[in-house]
Structures are given as structure tokens and as C-alpha cells.
Chain A
């Protein structure tokens, strides 16, 4: 056997001399950027910790989170949060146990950075929200939700092997139940949702709908049937050629034209979801098409030679390879969509950013120039969501072994 590679350890001083003060130019740049960074950090820190008048966020924290959601129904949201925590905790536990067993059996590779660390962006968000709420009750409820999540996580880890295939169904049922807790049985329909709740709902619904639709469009664009191809190309080029704002306006004004008489026009939120889905699907289609092109033709030949039908060849061989090749692009598209939900203010919906704007016009805060505080808060909330998606995408890439397999 060969000897291990020689390890050369450098002290911090050596590293700094080599990388920061290597030449006179290096030294000058190091000093300059250190000063610049320090100044920015000082100004930002001073604003956040000293100058900012956060009472506008503190007083409106409920408005920012749920908009005009009826206050006497808020308990439904807390209940839904508990159900969600249970469902997701259970799913994470079951998948985690399954994964660990596969690693132990040598069927899969272990991944660094997992478990609780994946929730860091969520913890950040919750910590800031609780700080602004300033009362004990929400903190206890959130703690309870985490407790329930953890309990169901332990339960999920004990899922018997023969029942493992039902885990996704159970999680899905849980999410659906959470939704029903809010909306059904005399509850609050999504046309009354607002604030961050509406932001998340719009994003999740549009992502879940636009993804399969986009994949179908991408496959259709490569179809051997000229009519299917033409329709898909026309759709993609049309919707990519129009600004999102235009599509939202059209969803607002035009969906009524296409409905048969006697059918009630859908609510504003439904229209917004339709608009986002139509728009994002066109982009998803082009991203996925790039992935489809990256799958070598010989893969299809190998599948055909085994007697696989065209449908199975697509779903088992081509799509899995195509989608894993475009995870970064797809997630980028979904992060865009998440932030673009803020555009719905133009059709009169009040999601997070609209609430952040509106509260500056309250009598108590009118004309006091507190825009920066609410914008910084809204930005932070958007950022935690985007950052979480970005981290999960990197993890998924590594898990699927992009680049190695």
C-alpha cells in the first residue's frame, strides 16, 4: 500500500501572510475591504439594534403573518400547525430511518449535514417571529408544535418495514387534514387568507401545480406527434413572452370569459394561483427540456432493447435522469415564484409585502417613515424561505449523487 499523502498544517498567521498580505496590493485590498465590511456591518447593526422602531412590526405581527384572517378563527391555524408538525415529523422520521438502514446495508451513501441542522432557516424565522410577538403564549404553542413534531418523528422511525410504502400517503393525508382544519367545517376559505400565510399558500400551490404541468409541456415539445408539439411550443413561447404582471391581470379580468354560464367566477386567490401556474409551467418546461436533452440517446436504446414500453422508458429511465440534471434550475425557478407571489397586490390581494406596505399607513404610524423597518422584516421572511429551498436543493443534488453517478 502507498503511504498517505503528506499533511502540511499551516498556522493562521502563515495562512494570513500567504492569502491576505502576500504583496503590497494584497495588503491594500485587505485593509480596504475590511474597513468597508466593518462600516456596513456597523450601519446595519446600528439600524437593526438601535435606530429601528420595531414597534410597527411588533404591533402588527399578526397582520403580517395572516392578513385579514378572521381573528376569532386563529385557533384553527394553531391546530393546523400541530397537525402539520405531526405529519412532517412522522414523514421525516420514517424516511430518515429508511435511509439509515440503507446506509447500514451498504445500499446508499451517508450524507453529511442532516437532521436538525436542516431546520436552521426555520429556527431563525421562528425565533424572530417569537421575539416580535413578545408574549409567552405563542412561544409555548410553537414549543408544543416542535414537541409534537419530535414525538411523531420518533414514532415514524418505528414504522414497520412492510408499511413503509404508505408513509408518503400518510404525510399527504396529514397535510390535507391540516388544510381541512383551517378551511372546512365552517372554517376560513383561502379567499380570506392573507399575509405570510397567503404567500406560502400561493407559492406551494403554484409549485405543486406548475411542476407536473411543466414536465408534460416539456415532453410534449419533444413528442413525435406534430400537433402536440405545435401546441406545446406555442404555449411555452406565448407565456414566456408575456410579463408575469400581465398574466396576473389577465387572470383577474379574463378567466370569467372562459367559464360557462352559471359557474361562479373563482376567487381572487384561485385566479392568482392559475396565473402563477400558467406562467411558471412555461419556464419549468424549458428547464426540463434542457434536462431531457442531456440524457444520451443510448439510454433510450438500452431501455427499448429490454422491451420497455415508451411510457416506462420515459418515466423510469429518461425523466429521472433529466430531472436530477436540472434540480438547480428548477429550484431557482421555484424560488423566483416564491418571491414573485408578492406581485398579487396588483389584483388586490394582501400577502406579506402588501401588509408590510399597508401597516405604514395606519394612524399610529402614518407619515413617520417606517418603511424600512417593515421592508427589512418582509425581506428577512422571504430570505429564510428562499435560503431553506436553496439548501434543500443542494442536499437533494448530493443525495441523488449528481456528478458522481
Chain B
């Protein structure tokens, strides 16, 4: 884990979030270093998704502090846009834009947000499609692709903005079993390239192989964190043991 200039890439301090009367996050503290790969797991409704959605302001936190790459998230739309440019996100349901071709999906944000010329954006997009190994799908529309191909296109779309952080919200949960590996391979390659990643997943094989740190959440709190070896072989907390017993 490298810590250039000392500040963490993502810092959450006492972050709380309510949906009506339901408290989804309860004083979450988390610090993620540059180039770190953190895998978040926990039972459904534990606040994993809400936590990473707060990092790029898809949800607004009600209490606490969130600092992303030195920018504190406030109500200022400019700060929010700044953070969103730095943070790529991959969704469970891919959420590609169905009315645009795969290539247009990828070039949309670079052209409209980063103001890249069309030719440059398309060249970059093709390079990314090579990287996720679906260059032949460039001119197809999302719904003509398989689930695994769609998710890889979605990863390419996020990478096109050259983010410093990638958030993955259960990227393989909506995929058929035979397509999970192709997506995890892309993510493994990405982690190897030094990308800072926060991944919500229940793919424990991936977690063991790629994660620098495991975070276990329950009821809106971080219950336990540690290295994968420690987390899988000698968890401290009773709740962690119960959870691992169920999924392993």
C-alpha cells in the first residue's frame, strides 16, 4: 500500500444516513489509501451500497464528513461534479444507456464533461474496449450484448473518464454463472494496474486473491475489517463468523 503525500484517497468520518426513520448508516469511519483494493461484504440491508453511493453523492449523507481525494463533499454542486469526475461507478444492473451504441456510451462523458474531441474520445474508447476484450461489440447496442459483455462495457464506460477511484456495487450479482469470471478477470487486471477500488461483492475467491483489505458491515456499521487472510481464517467478531459460515 503506497501512501503518497499521506492523505487517504477516500475518508469517511462518522457518516450517518437515514431513509425516513430507517438509519441506513450509523457513524461509519473508513479510510482508504491510494491504490488500495477494499472489498466490502455483509448481509443485505447492511448499508454497503448506501455507503459507496454516498462517496459519489448518489446519496446525500446526513451527518459526518466525506473527503474524496482532498475534496470534501458539500452541497456545492461544483465539488460534487469534481468528485464525480474522479470516481467511476459500476452498477449491479450495468445501467448502460440503451439508446446509444456501446461506443457512444463510452465516449459520451469524455466528450461532454471532459470536452475531448470526438476522434480522440473514440480512439480511447476502442483502446478500452480492447482492454475489456469486446472491441467487436463497439457499434452494437447494449441490449444486443450478453450480461457479461454489458458489464464489461460499463466498466469501460467508467474508465473512459480516467477516474482515480472505481466503485463496484455488486458487479456480478446480476450475471449468469458462466459470465462472472470474464467480469472478475477485468476487475483483477484493473486492480493490478494500481486503481483504487471499493468493491461490494460476495465473490470470496476474488476477494481472497485481489483485496488488500476486507470490510464487513452489518446494520449500518462497520463490524470488522482486516486483511483477507485474517478475515477469512480468524475473524474476531461473532457476526462475522456467522456471515462467513453462511456464504462459504
Report which A residues bind B (CB closer than 8 A).
105-107, 298-299, 301-309, 312, 316-317, 320-321, 324, 400-401, 404-405
A306 to B58, CA, bound (A): 11
21 contacts between A and B (CB under 8 A): A105-B139, A106-B139, A298-B91, A301-B58, A304-B56, A304-B57, A304-B84, A305-B89, A306-B84, A307-B109, A307-B113, A307-B161, A308-B108, A309-B81, A309-B113, A312-B112, A320-B99, A400-B99, A404-B143, A405-B142, A405-B144
A400 CA to B141 CA, complexed, in Å:
11
Specify the main secondary structure of chain A where it touches its partner. Answer: helix
Inter-subunit contact B157/A306 (CB<8 Å): yes
Say how far B76's CB is from chain A's closest CB, in angstroms: 14
| Nearest 6 CB-CB pairings of A with B | A302-B95, A306-B109, A307-B84, A305-B89, A107-B139, A307-B85
Q: Is the CB of B56 within 8 A of A305?
A: yes
Task: Assess whether B109 is in contact with A308, with CB atoms less than 8 Å apart.
Answer: yes
CB-based nearest A residue for B97: A317
For A309, the chain B residues whose CB sits under 8 A away are 81, 113
Q: How far is the CA of A308 from the CA of B112 in the complex (A)?
A: 7
In the complex, B158 has a CB within 8 A of chain A = yes
Q: Is the CB of B108 within 8 A of A306?
A: yes
Residue ID in chain B nearest A324 by CB atoms: B99
Interface assignment of B88: CB less than 8 Å from any CB of chain A = yes
How far apart sit A180 and B242, CA to CA, in the bound complex (Å)?
80
A301 neighbours in B (Cβ, 8 Å): 58, 91, 95
Give bound CA distance, A324 to B99, whole Å.
Answer: 9
B173 at the interface (CB under 8 A from A): no
Chain B 144-172 interface 0/1 with A at a Cβ cutoff of 8 Å (1 = within): 10000000000001100100000000000
Which A residues touch B109, using CB under 8 A? 306-308
Chain B residues near A404 (CB-CB < 8 A):
141, 143
- Please give the residue numbers on chain B whose beta carbons come within 8 Å of chain A beta carbons, in ascending order: 56-58, 81, 84-85, 87-89, 91, 93, 95-99, 101, 108-109, 112-113, 139, 141-144, 157-158, 161
Taking a contact as CB atoms closer than 8 A, the residue among B56, B85, B87, B112 that contacts A316 in the complex is B112
Chain B residue with minimal CB distance to A105? B139
Q: How far is the CB of A302 from chain B (nearest CB, A)?
A: 4
Nearest CB of chain A from residue B151's CB, rounded to whole Å: 13
**Contacting pair B139 A405 (CB below 8 A):** no
Chain B residues in 8 Å Cβ range of A401: 141
Give Cα A317–Cα B109 distance, bound, in whole angstroms. 11
Task: Write the nearest CB–CB distance from B185 to chain A, whole angstroms.
Answer: 23
Q: Which residues of B contact A306 (CB under 8 A)?
A: 84, 88, 108-109, 113, 157-158, 161
Q: Which residues of A have CB within 8 Å of B101?
A: 107
Please report the C-alpha to C-alpha distance between residue A307 and residue B101 in the assembled complex, in whole angstroms. 19
Q: How far is the CA of A116 from the CA of B211 in the complex (A)?
A: 61
Q: Cβ of A321 and Cβ of B84 under 8 Å apart?
A: no
- If A312-B112, A312-B113 are given as contacts, then 6 extra A-B residue pairs at C-beta distance below 8 Å, sorted by A number, are A299-B97, A303-B97, A305-B58, A305-B84, A306-B161, A308-B109
Bound Cα distance A316, B98 (Å): 12
In the assembly, what is the distance between CA of A400 and CA of B109, in Å?
Answer: 22
A379-B95 Cα distance, complex, nearest whole Å: 48
Residues of A within 8 A of B158 (CB): 305-306
Inter-chain contact B95/A299, CB cutoff 8 Å: yes
Residue of A nearest to B114 (CB): A307
Q: How far in angstroms is the closest Cβ of chain A from B32?
A: 18
A302 and B87 alpha carbons, distance in the complex (Å)? 12
Most B C-beta atoms less than 10 A away, residue of A107, A298, A321, A405: A405
- How many Å lie between the Cα of A18 and that of B150 in the bound state? 46
* CA gap between A9 and B122 in the complex, in Å: 49
A293–B154 alpha-carbon span in the complex (Å): 24
Kindly state the separation between the CA atoms of A308 and B93 in the bound complex, as whole angstroms. 19
CB distance from A62 to the nearest CB of B (A): 46
Chain A contacts of B89 at CB under 8 A?
Answer: 302, 305
Of the residues B58, B113, B144, contact of A308 by C-beta under 8 Å: B113
A324 to B141 Cα, complex, angstroms: 15
A306-B80 Cα distance, complex, nearest whole Å: 11
Q: Which of A303, A304, A321 contacts B98 (CB 8 A)?
A: A321
Contacting pair A316 B84 (CB below 8 A): no
**Which of A299, A303, A306, A401 counts the most chain B CB atoms within 10 A?**
A306
- Bound-state CA distance A404–B144 (Å) is 8
With a CB–CB cut-off of 8 A, which chain A residues contact B144?
Answer: 405
Return chain A residues, CB-CB under 8 Å to B161. Answer: 306-307
Q: Which residues of B contact A299 (CB under 8 A)?
A: 95, 97
For A308, what are the chain B residues with a Cβ–Cβ distance below 8 Å? 108-109, 112-113
CB neighbours (8 Å) of B97 from chain A are 299, 302-303, 317, 321
| Residues A405 and B143 in contact, CB atoms below 8 Å apart | yes
Nearest to B87 among chain A residues (CB) is A305
Complex contacts, B93 vs chain A, CB 8 Å: 298
Q: List the B residue with the shortest CB-CB distance to A315.
A: B112
A291 to chain B, nearest CB (A): 12
Least Cβ distance of A312 to chain B in Å? 5
Bound complex: CA A317 to CA B97 (Å): 7
Determine the distance from Cα of A303 to Cα of B85 in the docked complex, in whole angstroms: 11
Q: Knowing A298-B93, A320-B99 are in contact, say whether A307-B81 is a contact too (CB < 8 A).
A: yes
Q: How far is the CA of A308 from the CA of B139 in the complex (A)?
A: 22
* Across-interface contacts of A316 in B (CB, < 8 A): 108, 112
Specify which chain A residues have a CB less than 8 angstroms from the CB of B95 in the assembled complex. 298-299, 301-302
CA distance A303 to B161 in the complex (A): 12
Would you call A321 and B99 a contact (CB within 8 A)?
A: yes
In the complex formed, the residue of A with least CB distance to B101 is A107
A106 to B144, CA, bound (A): 13
